[in-house]
Amino acid sequence: MATTGIINGTLMRLYKDSTAIGYATSCQMNVSAAMREILTKDSAAGGWREVKKGQLSGTLSTEALYAGPGDASTNYLFDDLFTDLVAGTALTIKFTTDVVGDNVYTMSAICTSLDLNAGVEENVSYSASFEVTGAIVKTTKA
């Protein structure tokens, strides 16, 4: 049964294929439509800008705590993303709560940046950014 009311953000997370991106503290998906200007001398808009939808695009980003090779986890971690970024691998990413009836956003994305932060007496953390290539498909988890 689909989640009722406002969804708790903790439950919605990014999965590479079907494996969670580990120790995430936040995840974002951005979808945007570029606008193309269609104002011409023949337009009746009186000099006001007129636009129509152009290219659609999407980006993903996540912030997470860092765990190295010693971590006994099967989750997708910084080192996996590092390998993907260097190789330019397109990853199949799902953004979902994994609850039946809730939405699943599925897309192919390439990791474009990784920022690893290590402050004194702080958790080592990182942020990762992804550029979506192709369409973002919205389905309902059956």
Partner 1 sequence: MKLRLLKEWNGKHPGNTGVFLSEYGEQMIKDGIAELLDEDFVVEDMPKKEEVKQEPVYIPIPIPAKYFQNDEEENITKQKK
**Where do contacts with partner 1 occur on this chain (CB under 8 A)?**
10-11, 13, 15, 17-20, 22-23, 25, 65, 72-75, 94, 96-98, 123
CB of 18 to partner 1, least distance (A): 3
Cβ proximity to partner 1: between 83 and 113 the closer is: 83
Q: How many CB atoms lie within 10 A of CB 24?
A: 17
What is the rounded distance in angstroms from the CA atom of residue 90 to the CA atom of residue 99?
A: 26
CB of 134 to partner 1, least distance (A): 20
Cβ proximity to partner 1: between 20 and 90 the closer is: 20
**Under a CB-based contact definition with an 8 Å cutoff, are residues 64 and 79 in contact?**
no
What is the rounded distance in angstroms from the CA atom of residue 88 to the CA atom of residue 111?
A: 7
CB of 108 to partner 1, least distance (A): 17
